[in-house]
Amino acid sequence: MGKSSKDKRDAYYRLAKEQGWRARSAFKLLQLDEEFNLFEDVTRVVDLCAAPGSWSQVLSRVLIKGEKFGRCAWQDREAKFRQHMLNVVPSDAAPEQEKSIEKDEVPEAQLKPRKDVKIVSIDLQPISPLPGIITLRADITHPATVPLLLKALDPDYDPDTMNQQASQPVDLVISDGAPDVTGLHDLDIYVQSQLLFAALNLALCVLKPGGKFVAKIFRGRNVDLLYAQLKIFFEKVYVAKPRSSRASSVEAFIVCINFQPPEGFKASLEEPLGVGSRLPKMLADQNAVAPITAPVLMQSHETGAWNVTPERTQMVDEHGIEEVEVDDLSTEPHDKDIRWIAPFVACGDLSAFDSDASYKLPDDHVSLDPVQPPTAPPYKRAIELRRANGGAYGKPPSK
Ligand code: SAM
């Protein structure tokens, strides 16, 4: 799709370019913050699946530069932009309005930079540098990423002598992880859920008690079991849909507040899904009282469906690879009590742009270039090959 047709369809896409964000996703984080006050008292943050970097830009502007993006500030900016784009500004006021949109600078006196800020951003793709932010190119599902992250958070970290828990923990972990969607819903949901669990694993290694975890989810079947597991670790768990996330998309965000690891809990990558059967056993061993019955969430190797079982049998084969007997998994949960529905919160003011709507563009509308073109898009090689072959239809036959 050409950029001008995207301009027509997507108000947030235009707004992102106008305001200098690398991606329209910035508005999702801003609208989540509007609702949940995510950045309150936060100085140490990990941004997972961060490329091209619009969430990191939000972190940089709020924590390092000290800008405030409360509801009012946001609405004010959006109102200006709406007037601009819909061309409803009275003609004599227009030049001034446009100037203020272009500049969009916050007066120095209103900035409140925070002290000792540490932001680490990770993605498979390279992230173009952002001032004050440590960027890592790594796969969040790979165990080698944990020591990398711990080292970035604490330069004194030594993987030989220290465990996999951050000695200088963080206040907030955010993850906007998404695979390249195939359009096959079940497959996309499955791959996305693997990113979510990898993000949760990392979050459990680095969060401090009281910390927050925010992550993208694709709402699939049995997603409520995931909410129940998160509820073991966090006092409050919400599922939120910002207005800038298209209603037609299965995308939503889990917002987990107040990390409260059960007593004695130590994060470990030995559990591929982070919160497997180890936890209920550990709670039982310690006679600890679990806040809710701890479910064991497992995914069927055959169907990919999430199932729950109160117990599971674990074996370790001669290669040390954990095997799980899945025979006793039913498609229905064994115990209805362990299902827990997270409150659903729609966020972003009702007056905010509707991400599914098209807005009329003024006649003199000029489409802007993206703020940060993709550094290494997966389709780059395909474009190069296509160009080398003379375009979409191949080289014209030589006469
Ligand atoms: N939050 C980003 C922003 O505001 O610019 C947008 C993130 S984009 C929707 C999803 C990102 O997930 C992509 O950049 C992709 O490279 C990344 N991703 C997918 N799988 C990953 C993995 N296994 N490890 C790290 N990043 C991954």
- 399 residues of the chain, pLDDT tens digit each: 455 667 777 889 988 998 899 999 999 999 999 999 999 999 999 999 999 999 999 999 999 999 988 654 445 555 655 655 554 444 444 444 444 444 456 777 788 899 999 999 999 999 999 999 999 999 999 989 999 999 999 999 888 887 778 889 999 999 999 888 888 888 888 889 889 989 998 999 999 999 999 999 988 777 877 888 888 899 999 999 999 999 888 899 999 999 998 877 777 655 544 445 555 555 555 444 333 333 344 444 455 444 444 433 333 334 433 444 433 434 444 444 456 778 888 888 777 888 888 887 777 788 888 888 777 776 778 888 888 887 766 666 666
123 is in an annotated binding site: yes
Which secondary-structure segment (H or E) carries 14?
A: helix 11-19
Among the atoms of ligand 1, which is closest to the Cα of residue 142?
23
Measure the CA–CA gap between 141 and 264, rounded to whole angstroms: 25
Interatomic CA distance for residues 99 and 101, integer angstroms: 5
Q: Calculate helix-pair angle for 145-153, 185-206, nearest 10 degrees.
A: 40
Q: Ligand 1 centre and the CA of 48: distance in Å?
A: 7
- The rounded Å distance from CA 387 to ligand 1 centre is 27
ipTM above 0.85, yes or no: yes
**Pairing of the two strands 44-48 and 118-123:** parallel
pTM of the complete model: 0.77
240: β partners: 253, 345
- What residues are annotated to the active site? 216
212 φ/ψ angles, rounded to the nearest 5 degrees = -125, 150
Q: Is the CB of 179 under 6 A from ligand 1?
A: yes
- Is 375 a pocket residue for ligand 1 (Cβ < 6 Å)? no
Amino acid letter, residue 354? D
Decide: 25 in ligand 1 pocket, CB within 6 A. yes
Rounded CA separation 30/43 (Å): 17
CA of 120 to the centre of ligand 1 (A): 14
Atom of ligand 1 nearest to the CA of 216: 9
Q: Which atom of ligand 1 is least distant from the CA of 179? A: 19
| Angle between helix 26-36 and 11-19 (nearest 10) | 90
Measured by CA distance, the residue closest to atom 18 of ligand 1 is 49
